[in-house]
A and B are shown apart, each in its own frame.
Chain A
């Protein structure tokens, strides 16, 4: 099973700042990595798939990079709606697994 470790656990930033979230896999998942945003009481929302492709309707301030075992989600300028929990998910091997999440909170 590929274990995904996200860091940091919590990121405290102000609107307008840049957010950099990390996801590390215990074994290579090639580029089979997705990122989701989740707000309280809501289902997750797909942001990025195949490590760097934005899902439909996702603003270009969200970008993903990486391959193999190290991945990054960058939010270039935080907007109030971006404060949420972010999860990475790998689909390079079965079972599909998720990271434990990074909470982006308002500083």
Chain B
């Protein structure tokens, strides 16, 4: 079955960067795009963008353009999300999410809590 397993919780200081990983199993990794979605405490969900895992092309939400980078390692079946210049408002749970088709998300990682605090 499809599984997305994310890296553990992180605590970062303002201005730092964080890199979250999402290891996929149970399917052919390069056959599906990977999206990233975040959720601040008590808030709704916010789409950050996606990466074409096959060719590495990316699409970022304009809100995060210039601060976020999606990469992947096809040998390790792992996708990565790096967010830089962190501020307190970036405190959130970050999810990787994979569609079956289209841009709705059938499969989700368990989430990674990133806390930004001085």
Contacts and interface: CB of A to CB of B under 8 A. Distances in A.
Interface stretch (B7-15, B44-52, B68-76): B44-52
Contact of B102 (A91, A94, A95, A100): A91
Kindly state the interface size class of chain B when it binds its partner.
20 to 34
Contacts of B62: 95
Contact of B44 (A91, A94, A96, A98): A98
A49 B102 CA distance: 9
Contacts of B19: none
B104 A91 contact: yes
A34 B101 CA distance: 12
A45 B59 CA distance: 23
Which of B46, B102, B104, B111 lies at the interface centre, i.e. has the most chain A CB atoms within 10 A of its CB?
B104
Give the interface SS of chain B, mostly helix, strand, loop or mixed: loop
Nearest to A85: B44
Nearest to B105: A46
Contact of A34 (B49, B104, B110): B104
Nearest to B50: A96
Nearest to B108: A43
Contacts of B104: 34, 46, 49-50, 89, 91
B80 interface: no
A102 to B, nearest CB: 11
A89 B45 contact: yes
Interface of B: 35, 44-47, 49, 59, 61-63, 95, 102-106, 108-111
The 4 closest A-B pairs by CB, nearest first: A91-B103, A43-B108, A34-B104, A96-B47
